[in-house]
Homo-oligomer: A and B are copies of this chain.
């Protein structure tokens, strides 16, 4: 689906991009790899896996291609959506890896672009675009689960600074991040959703420590992060003090779309069709085959829906609460797909190593992180269907 014909107007742009990629994308970066191991996360402690990875990042930074749709002033290339699509198509055509992935690009960037002050944008966005500062996200707290508004980590008012105490959980890559964006309780008297602020903190600040969490799928990017009397300047609040919930809500919607997208990317790492064709019984077992046919139909319909929502967004119609649907359907479907891959691979899939086992287990978290499937369904029920209660 979705071969986009961006029309004659963009023919020149496409030619330029193609030429630039031909000249600048190193052969090693054209292997189409998309797994955890091949990602360039950037940040001050980043070690490039090879010179080509470093070259590729630097050349993209120069053109603004790490964040193609961001304004040039903040390190982007200022592309519109059609141009962005063309760039992605051309990269895909030669199997080019993404030059840089980060929570800064996915999450904080959009939040700063929408809620940050001009000063904050100029200060924080370019280092993200250049892959110099790696960010992690501090939302969840132990025992709070989906109830993000129940934030307990406290920021006490000290005049120009906050004094932060508490604990976050599920902070991805906190042990390798330079900075963290977090939700902190800045007013204990206010009602639940009020009294929360969206705060940026340097992970080297005295009083911040991290501890990795091991998952059922093995080592994980997740950590627990502890704050003990951490001093934070008030200039590092994004948006209005005590209105951090607005920023968080915006980012949640954004995250849901990302996860549902990511879900697909993961699944398509090895297409269901290929898995079944290779499988011992993928052809002969009607249960497996029938389920795979269903999953394939559904995946295609989900892809079309993502495309539709993008078209809507471009037409100025926000996706809004429907992002809950993308999150829910995307992650549930991805779980199903990996179950089918495991079944198709049979005994081959039952060991650690070069097998789908880790991915399979990892998908189980997709429908929990960023808001559980149950929370998504409740959002749809109340906000879209207007059912009572």
Contact = CB atoms under 8 A, between A and B. Distances in A.
Contacts of A289: 286, 290
Contact of A293 (B287, B293, B294): B287
Contacts of A293: 286-287
A336 to B, nearest CB: 14
Contacts of A290: 286-291
Number of copies: 2
Secondary structure type dominating chain A contacts: helix
Interface in A239-298: 286-291, 293-294
A362 to B, nearest CB: 27
Contacts of A286: 286-287, 289-290, 293
A248 to B, nearest CB: 30
Nearest to A284: B286
A282 to B, nearest CB: 10
A373 B314 CA distance: 44
Interface string A184-195: 000000000000
Nearest to A289: B286
A263 to B, nearest CB: 23
Of A286, A287, A293, A294, the most chain B CB neighbours within 10 A belong to A286
A291 B290 CA distance: 8
Contacts of A294: 287
Interface in A276-335: 286-291, 293-294
A293 B290 CA distance: 11
Contacts of A287: 286, 290, 293-294
A286 B290 CA distance: 5
Nearest to A292: B286
Contacts of A291: 290
A297 to B, nearest CB: 10
A290 B294 CA distance: 11
A294 to B, nearest CB: 7
Nearest to A290: B290
Nearest to A288: B290
Interface of A: 286-291, 293-294
12 contacts: A286-B286, A286-B287, A286-B289, A286-B290, A286-B293, A287-B290, A287-B293, A287-B294, A288-B290, A289-B290, A290-B290, A290-B291
Given A286-B287, A288-B290, A290-B290, 9 more contacts: A286-B286, A286-B289, A286-B290, A286-B293, A287-B290, A287-B293, A287-B294, A289-B290, A290-B291
* 4 cross-chain pairs, A with B, having the tightest CB-CB distances, nearest first: A290-B290, A286-B286, A286-B289, A286-B290
